[in-house]
Structure 1
Amino acid sequence: MDEDIIKGHEGRVFANAQFDVEHAFGMYALSYCTIPAEGIYDKEALAPMMDVISKCHIYIIGYTPIINLIGATQVGQTLFVKFGLLEEEYIIKFDIPGLTLRDEDGFLYLQNADGEKFWPSSEEFHSRLSNQTKAVTFKVKYIGQAYGQDGSRNAVDRLLKHETLQKIALKGAPQGHKLTLLMLAIEPSNQLITMMNPFAKNGDSGNARIKQGFDKAQNTTEAEKISLYEAALIRYFYPEYNKEFKDSFPSTNLKILQDCYAKDFSAVVAEICIDELPFTLFSEVVEPKLYHVARHHLHKEEDRKMFFGM
């Protein structure tokens, strides 16, 4: 970094920085499970997904459009499937070499030369619809967490007796929509993002702060991380039914987050970047998109704000 940069706006920020090393704590969703809201009561249907659900401590309640399968046709080795949602019709196509479309009294399936039957999953249909049409969305209404002692509780455990979920369900979904749950599993290992600034006021603490940041990141518990991730997403999406963290985060008095402040991280980053999601997430304040990165400084002081374009 040369002197010309120092003369600009960012240069002034670098020169006014308090420390020559600052750390951001990073978190991201590793896997997910999505089901209709009423599905939490169907143990049989949930059984195949429990390996994933058991690791999901973050849950998001929201509205998704109702998708109806209208029909399908085959032209050569291409399958065309028509769907209806929100009074519009959409067609998506699949390459199906070696497969033949069959229709038995309205039951559609693909069959190969050996008589084996296939059909894309609803998630694959929805994901393609979302990617090709941008019509499949998830409007975020509430974000919460369930962790318990050593991760003993998962999202479904909490949702089974969740007053806010019941309140949202009783209100009813908008026309053409249904109430849907998105459950997220957070990457278990801790991620530290480090910025080095040779122009800071205190320029001789780098090695000590690097070690301090690494040690404190490694000592951040999963419970602390889940709470930080939840708070960061709530502040980012600003959901209608959440109260805590919408305006207080990152200046909160919640004990578990105070412990995170004590570790002296400069910022936190919470990501939802999953290619396979069958919809784009949005809220009243965030536009629909597949990838979401919630970035928050943890300190009000300008000389501690070294991330996110300052």
Structure 2
Amino acid sequence: MAGTLIYQLQLAHTFQRRFDSEELGRALSESHIYVISRRPQVRLKEQSVMFHPRRIQFEVTTKANSKASHVDYSLDLAHEGLQQACDFRTYQDGSYFSFRLGAALMHGDSWALAALCSRTKDEISRQEVMYIGMAYGKNGSSNAWHRTKRHEKLQRIYEDHVDGGWDIFVSAYEIVSCERAAVDHIDDSEGGNPLGILDEAEVFWDRRGERPSETAVKLIEHSLIAYFDPPYNKTLNQWRADDPTAEMRSMQNAGFRLIVVHLSGYGSLARLHSRQVKSATRSHVILHDIPPVPRRPVLRGLSAEMVSGWRASLLRLDDVEGVIAEGELSDIVLHSFGERAPSVRKPPEVDLDFESDHRTLEEREEEFKRISTIEAQYAGPDFDHETGRFSVGIGLDGTKMHWEVWDQNRLLRNGVIMGPPDSGKTNSLTVAIFGYLDSGLFIPWLGDGGGRHNLLRKWGRAADWIASNPRELELMLGAAVAIAEGRRTDSAYQGISRKTPGILLAVEDLHLALDNAPHLVEKFERLSEIGPASGVATVVTVPDSNLARFGGSRKLRSNLGSGHRQVFGIFDGDDLFADLEAP
């Protein structure tokens, strides 16, 4: 009687953070095997983030190895739902990120995002296996001693890699299935328990608990360690048929001479390799046997001298690369960044303000819809020439909202209107333009940064200039800068009046304008700096305060944000205000 044990492992989650003993236990509580690995640091460059319709573009920097030079990779995250994306932030020197997707918050490791967007590009996804251990798994019996030793090993790896330019990862795997075949790779037959393959004693799988047995977990741990030969594992680094472990003897006594362990690449972003396994792949198929004598003296893998062709074909032992390829082509599941991902994935040093909001996602989505559909309750133009104020509607708290055209020194204010798509930015800008027109002191110059708004139909009779494409916007911006520069040196200029009107430069979707024409950033910077004293006010709409929305210019963001800021449909407006005020 001869048979084969076939196990499959699937990734639960890959963590990139430092753990204390308790948190490590929580991270591994749902898994059976864990792998500690390393790779050169991957860091996301926040200033590189650019939002496009249904796409986020960004850059990461990393090394091929610890001694190589840094290389930058430009990547895209594309999806239909990303038209609601905004407020992209990075933490811990670019190792962690977050962004909003409607009412939800997406966050996770920058390495995982880069690996996903690069389709697990080798230079980004490869990780070297350093240690493999047992986690015992769901309802397992991991005791205090095992938990302590596990944490001590991880801490030693952390300490050995501090300040070395490495990221350390802990990947938790579940053993999801066990198959028993009444055939193996050898033509002959030998003694053994003919009922062993039925596994009625549940030695190799706990059918009632629907989980692997302790013997199974130990066999798989041994198989993986012998295969990868990690440097921090000091035992089980060889699979010796001539010197079997207790679990190997149990396998042999039950009639199993071959074990196949499939480390599935489904849902995994890491390409694992080691000093023993040179090829970095997402899936690995591990084969070990306990054949009868005579056998080849090997330290791992198959030691049987005569392998049956048809039996090997039946078990797909002659097509290991094909099995691995299936894992390589499997869909990569974005389960690492949403609310279903483990909460313990976030490093404790990362402070996500969103976490203080204890409402459910459904409650936040409901409020988002409510905010997004609120009408301004605009009662008509009411510009006050003495204060330079006009009302723009009613706020959520029921109080009247005002726009101040100038400050106490009669210097014009620039303005930023923020909010995700469909949150009311355009309506707010429309009301503001009416206020400026009602003053009789401004002529409106209007720009459409993304070509999404029919400004000519709406403002054709009221606007002095409408720019509906990047070239027209460049001409308009150049003219506004020239007028502002001229007034700065004109001693006769005494401020705006009906005779010498000011200019309101209002741009819808500034971020799209700068995305299409990044060379305009410098002109916008200059105008936002000299315009207020020269009778030119700049008002723009953007989805959020991310620096990329302002062409990567802190100067432009600060110059525009020092005046009016209106936030629609975003729940942490105070933090966005702080961004705008940052120098």
| Alpha-carbon separation, structure 2, partners of 1:309 and 1:276 | 25
Asked if residue 275 in structure 1 is aligned to residue 228 in structure 2, the reply is no
One of 23, 36, 44 as aligned partner of 1:61: 36
Query: Where is the strand percentage greater, Structure 1 or Structure 2?
Result: 1
**Match in the other structure for 2:134:** 145
Quote the residue 1:167 is aligned against.
156
Whether the 8 Å CA contact 1:173–1:179 is kept in 2: the answer is: no
* CA apart distance, 1:274: 3.0
CA drift of 1:269 comes to 1.0
Deviates more, 1:290-299 or 1:159-168: 159-168
Is 2:174 aligned against 1:191?
no
TM-score, reference length from structure 1: 0.73
Equivalent residue in structure 2 for 1:292, among 268, 273, 284: 284
Q: Is the 8 A contact 1:229 1:270 kept in 2?
A: yes
Q: How many residues end up aligned between the 2 structures?
A: 276
Q: Return the offset for 1:212.
A: 4.4
TM (norm. structure 2) is 0.41
8 Å contact from structure 1 (residues 53, 154) kept in 2: no
Question: What is aligned with 2:355?
Answer: none
**Letter paired with 1:190:** C
Distance 1:97 1:150 in 2: 40
Question: For 1:270 and 1:196, how far apart are their aligned partners in 2?
Answer: 14
Correspondence for 1:235 among 223, 226, 240 = 226
Q: Which moved more, 1:226-235 or 1:130-139?
A: 130-139
Shift of 1:249: 3.6
Q: Higher relative CO (CA 8 A, sep ≥ 6), structure 1 or 2?
A: 1
Distance in 2 between the 1:134 and 1:31 partners? 19
**AA in 2 matched with 1:192:** R
Unaligned runs of 5+ in 2: 64-69, 91-96, 206-212, 294-303, 320-583
Q: Structure 1, residues 11-47: CA drift from partner, whole Å, max 9, x if none? A: xxxxxxxx6xx3110112134232235224574xx79
Structure 2: distance between partners of 1:28 and 1:156: 28
Instruction: State the 1:293 CA deviation.
Output: 0.9
Structure 2 Cα separation of the partners of residues 108 and 299 of structure 1:
53
Q: Give the residue type in structure 1 aligned to 2:74.
A: I
One-letter code aligned to 2:291: H
CA contact (8 A) 1:130 1:137 kept: no
Q: Which residue of 1 aligns with 2:86?
A: 102
Deviation at 1:65, TM superposition (A): 3.0
Pair 1:84 & 2:64 matched: no
CA distance in 1, matches of 2:76, 2:54: 10
Structure 1 equivalent of residue 198 of structure 2: 214
Once the two structures are TM-superposed, the CA of residue 104 in structure 1 deviates from its matched residue by 7.5
What is the letter of the counterpart of residue 239 of structure 1?
A: P
Q: Secondary structure at the match of 2:44?
A: strand
Q: Confirm or deny: 8 A CA contact 2:196 2:255 kept in the other structure.
A: no
RMSD of aligned alpha carbons: 3.8
The residue type paired with residue 33 of structure 2 is I
Question: Contact 1:61–1:182 (CA<8 Å) still a contact in 2?
Answer: yes
SS at structure 2 position matched to 1:257: helix
Larger radius of gyration: 2
1:235–1:246 CA contact under 8 A, matched in 2: yes
Change over 3 Å in CA distance of 1:26–1:128 after alignment to 2: same
CA distance in 2, matches of 1:176, 1:30: 29
